[in-house]
Each structure stands twice: as C-alpha cells, then as structure tokens.
Amino acid sequence: MKLMSWFSKTMKRRSVSRKGNRHSRIACSPGTENRGTSNNLINMATQTCKEKAKEKIFYSYTNSINGFAAVLEEEEASALAKHPDVISVFLNKARKLHTTHSWGFLGLEKDGVVPPSSLWKKARYGEDVIIGNLDTGVWPESKSFSDEGLGPVPSKWRGICQNATKEGVPCNSIVGDSALYCKSLLLVMCMDSNLRVFIPVKNVISVLKLRLVLYISRSHRDKLSSQSSGLALHSPIWHANLHLLPYYLVSYGCRKTRKLIGARYFNKGYGSIGGHLNSSFQTARDIEGHGTHTLSTAAGNFVPGANVFGNGKGTAKGGSPRARVAAYKVCWPAVGVNEGGCYEADILAGFDVAISDGVDVLSVSLGGAIDEYSDDAIAIGSFHAFKKGITVVASAGNSGPGPGSVSNVAPWLITVGASTLDRAFTIYVALGNRKHLKGVSLSQKSLPARKFYPLISGARAKASNQSEEDANLCKPGTLDSKKVKGKILVCLRGVNPRVEKGHVALLAGAVGMILANDEESGNGILADAHVLPAAHIISTDGQAVFSYLNSTKDPWAYITNVRTELGTKPAPFMASFSSRGPNILEESILKPDITAPGVSVIAAFTLATGPTDTAYDKRRIPFNTESGTSMSCPHVSGIVGLLKSLHPDWSPAAIRSAIMTTATTRDNNGDPIMDSSNTRATPFAYGAGHVQPNRAADPGLVYDLTVNDFLNYLCSRGYTAKDLKLFTDKPYTCPKSFSLTDFNYPSISAINLNDTITVTRRVKNVGSPGKYYIHVREPTGVLVSVAPTTLEFKKLGEEKTFKVTFKLAPKWKLKDYTFGILTWSDGKHFVRSPLVTSTYAPQKARLVDLFVESHFDLLGSLLDRKEQVEDQMICTKSFNGFAAFLSEARMAALKSKDHHVLSFLFMSNSLFSCVSYFPALDSLQKKANFGENTILSLQGASVATKTCSDDVKSASQITRWRITQPGRS
C-alpha cells in the first residue's frame, strides 16, 4: 500500500491510500429520478460485466443523495467522470476528528439553579428534538444516555440500532412505544481456570444497579435475583473468592433506552483502504471515546456527581439534555497499514441515512483539507440536510493559529471555533527561588505535601547518544534514567503528545513533570490526565523555569495538588489550536461563524480505553476532559437543539443567524476577547463572537437564506446546471446576474476594496413590532454608510432590505484586513454583524502574503530566532512550501506540525546534454511559427546573455511574463 501526499493551498494534508493504482472513489449522479442507474453507470464506464460492477460498489446512496462509492482503477474513474450522467467523481479521502460547568458559563444556569429566563426552561431542555452525531460511535451504558424522565420516542423517528454482533448497541427503535428494547445475551465470567459462571440475561425489566466492580458470592445470589426482575443465574457451584465482573459487561443487557434511539455504523470506505474488517468493526460501539464525549456534550442527560479523578465535580449534562440522540459511527481507529480516520464514503453514507432517519440536528466534529464543495462529502451531505430543514454544525479544525487554516467552510453549515471557559484545574509549581507558577493539570497522583524534589531539564537528563533538543522534548528513549530518578523533570511542549512526555518521564524514574509551553503555544495550556504528578505552564513561566535551572547548580521544585477553580479571568480567550480564517475557498464568506467552549470540557467517555487513549493507560473513567473544536462544536449543536424546540418553524439559516447576531466579542472582564498569545483576537478567530444561548432565543431580526439562495451562490462560483444536480433533485437555472455582495449572510465582507463596494442585506422580524436604528463601528481606514438608517417592522415575519456602502477613507491605504461591527437595535435587541474589509487586489496575492508569513511562523518556531527564516527559500506561487537548513531534530519537529505534508532531503542531480539533429522537425517548426509566444523554461545551469541564440530583434513582446531577476553586476 502506498501513501500519496501533495501540497494544497490550505497548507494541509490530503492523503490517498492506494494499492497499485486502485482508489476508492465517490461518484454522484443527477437527481433522484435516476437512483436506480448507479450500477449501470459504473458498468458502462468500466466495461465489465454487471456482476463485477456490483462487486466494485460498496455504497449506494439512495435516500437523500444519489450516488455510489466504489473501488476503481485510475482509467475507470477517468472514464466514469466523462459519462454524461455523472456529475462528480472524487477520492475517498480520510478526514480527522478535529461538561459540568460550561453551560453555567454560557448562562443557562447559575450555581446549579436554572432561572426562568433560561433557554433551557423556555425550550423544555430540547425535549423531543433528535440530535445525530457523525463520529466514533457511542458508549451506550454511560449514564449520560439514561432515558430517565423521557416519554415515548417521537413518531417521526425512522432509525434503528444496528446490532450485528454481541458488541452491538442496545437502544429503543420502537417508535411511539415506551416498551423496552430487550436483547438476550450470554454473559460469561471466568471464576478460575476450570470453572465458569454462565449468566443468561433475558427480558430484564431494569438494568442492575451494580457498582463499577461487583463481588459475586453465595451470599449475594438471592439479592441479585430479587433486584434483577428476571435475571436468572445458572451455576452448579458458587465460590466466595470469585474474580471481578466489570460493570459494563453486565449492562449490555436490556435497559430502557428512549434516550439513545439510534446507532449505526459505516465502515466500507474505511475497509476499502485497509482490506477485510473482522467482527469487531461491525458495531457502533465507541472504543475511542471521542463520539461518546461529543454526543453527551450536545445532549447528555443530567448525571449528578460527575468528575474526573475528583476534579470538576458537579452535574454533567448536555446542551439539550431532554433531546433524543442517535450515533452514526463513521470514524475508525488506526489498525495495521490503515491509518484510520473518517473516510468520505462513510461520512456521506452517514449523512444519507441520518437525513432519512429523521434527525433535527447533525453534529459533525471532524474535517480535513479544504476542497471545492463538489469534492467534499461534508459539504454535499450538509446541503442535502439543509434542504430537509436539518441544521448541521461542524468543527472549524485544530490547525490554528495559522491564517487560512479553517475547514468546513460551506455557507449552509455552522462552523465553530474553540475558546476557553472560566474554569481551570489549577496546580502550582513552587521553585527553590521562591517563585510560584500557576499551571493546569488533571493528574490523578500527587506529591507529598510541600516536599521539594531536585529539578532537572530534559536536556540535562539526556542519554549519551541523544541530542539535547530531543531530550528537552522528552521523546521516548532520549533520557538517562540515572539522571532522572527521584527528580521533577522539565519537558518542553511540542512534537510528541503531551501525555506521552509524562509517561516517558515516569519510565525514567521521575516523580513529577513540569510541561512548559514553547513560544508558539503561548498561553494555551491544557489539563491532561497525566500518569504522574504534572503541571502544564505557559510559555513565559516556562522561560522562568529554564532561567532558574541555568542560574543554580542545585535547583529544587515542588508541585501542589490539583484543585478546581471557578470564575477565572479573562474568559473566554481563543484556544491556540482553533483554526483561523480567512476562508480561502471564498473570502467573502467569513468563517468560522462562532466560537464556543472547547478547552478542558468534561463529558461522558468510553470504558474501552483510558483517559489518555494510550495502550499503557489502564485506568477507566466514565467522564473525561477533552479539548478541541470537536468539543466546541457539540456545544453549539446542543444550543441549536434548544432553538429548534423553541422555534420549530425557523430554518437552519435563521437559527445560525440568531446564534451569530447575538454573540459577544467581550470576555468576563468586559474587554475584547484575546488570543492565547495575548493579542486581540479578530473575527478570523471567533467569527461573530462567543455564543450566548439565552440571547439567541430572542434575536429580534434574522438574516434568512433559502435553498435557492445557496444554489445562486454556487452559480456565482461557476457551477453549471449539471453541477447543481449534485445538490438538488430538481433542474435549476442560474440567474443571469448574481453578486456575492447580495448573498444574505449574517456577516458582511468587502474584499478587494479599492474604491467603493455596496452590499445588500435582508432581515426578517422574528420578534415584536418595533423600529430598529443603525450603529456602525467602522473598520480602520474605511468609511461605512447604511441606507436606510432605520427599519420599522409592524408584524411578525415582515422583511426589510438595506444597503451598506464601503469606501476607503481619503489618502488611506489598507495593509491588512480590518474589522468592524454593524448593529441594528430597537433598544431591546442588538443584532450585530461582523464587518471584514481588505484592499488587496487579487486573491492569490493576498494569500501568498499569508502563506509566507505562516512559513515564517512555522519555521521560526523551530529556529532560535524568527529572523533566521528570512534567508530560507519560500515557495508560494504555484505550490506552497519552503526549503531550509534543518537538523534532524528540527526536521522531526517540523513533521509533527499539523500543516506539514511532505519533507525530503535535497539531492544533487546531474546535467544531461546532447547534440541532436532531427530533419522531420523542420516542417513542424514552420507550421508552429517556430514556437512564437511560447515560454520555454530552462532549469539547470545559468544562461549567458551575449549569445546569438537570444537575439530578440525579431521577437514580439509577451505581456503575460511577470518578472526577470536582474542579478548582480
């Protein structure tokens, strides 16, 4: 199996796994009227028998999307793409998987009390809304998916629980009936080497309320039988010293599951890359924890006493705690040659079925490199969801803080960035020089109170055959255990995973670890469940630790216990990993749309792996903390569920508008939201701002969009009537004139502002009658006028149009993007739209500047000074990359970066030359006018300028040539 990678304009990796030249690809056909033609299409394209064509197809999308996924040779795919009935053929690419307090931080409750004004009460906690999740599956036994307090399953539900093996997911697929979904299951528990206890479970009325571990003995038998309401224990002998029975094995049995009403899995796209999948892959059960965490964040039920190793103790719940949930497993772990991930064929299949099942909201915490919408499964699937009134919420990605890194940029879905909340799992580092440094951690273990230990850096503890750079990063195999034993080890963040550094330190004999941020990571610190006492500290504090180490021959330190701290300030601030704009696919559409809590979020977790998701971590916990835009996405999904319950007639676009126009750009100090680097954040980081669910319930006005508006948007991007059939079943004719300046998005962008740009917007009244007045905070260097300056609404649903004109201020030249805010207000509602302006001319020139700066940032993070990067070779014209002199350690560090695609050594190539005479060329030279106006590039030796062969007297000027580098005289 080969792995092919190449550069993309997004600086991100697009990978295609293949065997020979075989690829799994996705083909889409026009309309629903031809849904039965998929097999015929591939049959015609590949010129094979119909039976073999069927073998090649592993998905047929027939519910909301018309197409199929198949394994094809390059030639077959090319032939298929040319077929008149085929709209699009694209590769089956792998996408990546980009709490107890966060809802209080968002204002839905205060100190555990839900006020009458809370959206929770107004929306009945999202009752009977159905939230679907495309992710790694679900751990159904989690208490977050208890159906306590829920009534019958909504009658609109058409989904099922897909159970092909004993590892299946029990749930209730009986619509409108509160009866239990019961499943006979044989549980086996080994007593010793010769004896087993068989516990058949059948028709159990309620799951046993067993503790995490249960001792079974003769004295317990009657008690178990009386509690089980039908559990029969069949065993010839009972011993008092039986082995332990894990809780989750027992709870595979029958239980009330009117909460988790659907669970399906899609693995054929994944299997087409890695080959045959055994029975362990035939389940929606979550063995990684990501899907359980995100789904419970969106809609988990109330679970008192949730905590992580005693930290953050409180009542866990999702954004829509009374909503029903459905899990669609489309993401799979790395196994053997298969790198794992979320393959587009599976993602599209998940969308297709979820739409048909009847979900109201789809939460999608995954993504990858930016593709044109016609080549993006998430964009295609979410468009079809929008047509059915389903709101799709997607994560912005974890490739920040570089510019242009945001993914999931389709304008018909909600794109969510990640920021902090006002809770910290605080831990302190006391140094021997009496300095105290504040960090974060979720370490289960702690050091003896106030006991100081010797302190050593990874560089000073390096093994004899290792570099100081690698040892400072605490990479596996780089440390000398004799130097580390009994000491607190200081490790620098970067390259290898944070929790791995702690494990390396533990194996080397360290009693604790201080994890110091590098300059690039700044103030972005994360609380991890380390396997030893550990503290993660910010960059400036890390410098203080290294300075102390260098100032004394006998350094000492102490690490305190972890404690939960609430009301921390400032909050929120943007997470460094959260992907940033501009939206390089379409700069006039601001992405991300919104930001939400995504750092150290507590939610339900799987019991199939430890909190660090590593092989060496044998701990199992029902709740865990995770960080990422994957965590912020379901926060917004849960809020969407509440809005859907409160306003069932609102379109997905209206819901998105309500969320965006009521957001805040201020932190809990009343100051502008900051980046983790202590600079002021911009809409490229947070979109419209930080979500405020209570305000979103009553936005006053909304910017609405219809399916036709999005089709017109695609028309503006050059989509033909045939191309549009990928998104709509009905024929659609593009309007003769449509400008993106009239696209009714809640944010407003004026790109390429060299003179004057006027945009049109339309707002709908969703509140009481009233008169709205305009207020504009102008972007720096730009004059903004709005007409009319007042909008009066006399009834619900009334729409009004206004125009916004942008003009450069006299004698002002913008050198970068500038931002402002446009607000309509009636005194009660404040309907805010972010303004984005730029005077850069062609899009490519503007992005080249961004790419060059990102190269400097990326390479500068590896070198001693950013200025050293200026001498390196930067490629930005036709592809995106750079050449530089790097040590092996720095090369390894570079390869660990999210934006990295490929690195290789410079090789010396030889020049080849020959003398040739080809008489037959004479006639062709004359016919082609001797290659006039063709530009021939010579790469190799330099060119002498005083030769007869470069006589230009008879040559015409070529206007498309851009530059000749004169060199030195």
Of 609, 629, 630, 631, nearest in space to 619 by CA: 609
- The larger pLDDT score, comparing residue 764 to residue 87, is at 764
Domain with CATH 3.40.50.200 in the chain: 125-178+255-420+576-661
Q: How far apart are CA 691 and CA 670, in angstroms?
A: 15
The string of pLDDT tens digits covering residues 114-153 is 999 999 999 999 999 999 999 999 999 999 999 998 999 9
How many residues are there in the chain? 969
Q: To the nearest whole number, what is the mean pLDDT of the chain?
A: 79
Q: Specify the DSSP class assigned to residue 399.
A: -
Give the class (CATH, top level) of 125-178+255-420+576-661: alpha beta
Point out the catalytic residue in the list 395, 630, 632, 651. Answer: 630
Q: How far apart are CA 298 and CA 321, in angstroms?
A: 8
The string of pLDDT tens digits covering residues 845-874 is 445 555 555 655 665 555 554 445 444 544
Write out the H or E segment, with its range, that includes residue 402. none
Phi, psi of 451 (to 5 degrees): -100, 120
* pLDDT over threshold 90, residue 386: yes
Highest mean predicted confidence (pLDDT) among 43-57, 199-213, 340-354, 853-867: 340-354
* pLDDT over threshold 60, residue 402: yes
pLDDT, position 614: 83
- Residue pair 847/796 in contact by the 8 Å Cβ criterion: no
The string of pLDDT tens digits covering residues 174-187 is 433 333 333 323 23
* pLDDT over threshold 90, residue 754: no
* 223 band by pLDDT with thresholds 50, 70 and 90: very low
- Residue pair 10/900 in contact by the 8 Å Cβ criterion: no
- Structure token pair of residue 251: 């709870």
Helix 38-46 × helix 74-81 angle, to 10°:
120
- What contacts 298, CB < 8 A, 6 or more positions away? 131, 133, 318, 319, 320, 323, 325, 361, 363, 634, 635, 637, 638, 641
Neighbour-count burial of 236, counting CB atoms closer than 10 A to its CB (0-12 exposed, 13-18 middle, 19+ buried): exposed
pLDDT, position 859: 58
Of 409, 408, 358, 346, nearest in space to 388 by CA: 358
Q: What average pLDDT does the segment 785-801 reach?
A: 98
Backbone Cα Rg of the chain: 30
Domain with CATH 3.30.70.80 in the chain: 2-91
Of 616, 597, 619, nearest in space to 606 by CA: 619
Specify whether 290 is catalytic: yes
- What contacts 483, CB < 8 A, 6 or more positions away? 456, 460, 461
* Superfamily of the domain at 2-91: Peptidase S8 propeptide/proteinase inhibitor I9 (3.30.70.80)
* pLDDT over threshold 60, residue 2: no
Q: Specify the DSSP class assigned to residue 836.
A: E
Q: Which CATH number fits domain 425-566: 1.10.10.60, 3.40.640.10, 3.50.30.30, 3.40.1000.10?
A: 3.50.30.30
Neighbour-count burial of 407, counting CB atoms closer than 10 A to its CB (0-12 exposed, 13-18 middle, 19+ buried): buried
* 231 band by pLDDT with thresholds 50, 70 and 90: very low
Q: What average pLDDT does the segment 489-495 reach?
A: 93
Specify whether 135 is catalytic: yes
Point out the catalytic residue in the list 128, 135, 357, 470. Answer: 135
Q: How far apart are CA 961 and CA 244, in angstroms?
A: 77
- Residue 633: CB atoms within 10 A of its CB come to 33
- Residue 333: CB atoms within 10 A of its CB come to 15
* pLDDT over threshold 80, residue 643: yes
Of 289, 418, 399, nearest in space to 896 by CA: 399
* pLDDT over threshold 80, residue 298: yes
- Strands (DSSP E) contained in 470-568 are 488-492, 512-516, 534-537, 556-559, 563-566
- Residue pair 311/564 in contact by the 8 Å Cβ criterion: yes
Highest mean predicted confidence (pLDDT) among 68-77, 203-212, 815-824, 930-939: 815-824
pLDDT, position 197: 35
* pLDDT over threshold 90, residue 824: yes
Helix 629-646 × helix 290-299 angle, to 10°:
30
Q: For every residue of 699-747, which 3-state class applies, written as one string?
A: CCEECCCCHHHHHHHHHHCCCCHHHHCCCCCCCCCCCCCCCHHHCCCCC
- From residue 903, give the alpha-carbon distance in Å to each of 125, 874, 909: 50, 14, 18
Alpha-helical (H) ranges within 510-665 are 539-551, 629-646, 652-661
Point out the catalytic residue in the list 23, 101, 290, 855. Answer: 290
The string of pLDDT tens digits covering residues 648-692 is 999 999 999 999 999 999 999 999 999 988 899 999 999 999 999
- Residue pair 742/753 in contact by the 8 Å Cβ criterion: no
pTM score of the predicted model: 0.74
- The larger pLDDT score, comparing residue 498 to residue 210, is at 498
Q: How far apart are CA 360 and CA 126, in angstroms?
A: 11
Specify whether 192 is catalytic: no
- Residue 417: CB atoms within 10 A of its CB come to 32
- Residue pair 147/256 in contact by the 8 Å Cβ criterion: yes
Question: 289-328: string of b/e by CB count within 10 Å (b at 16+)?
Answer: bbbbbbbbbbbbbbbeebbbbebbebebbbbbbbbbbbbb
Question: 19-42: string of b/e by CB count within 10 Å (b at 16+)?
Answer: eeeebbbbbbbbbeeebebbbebb
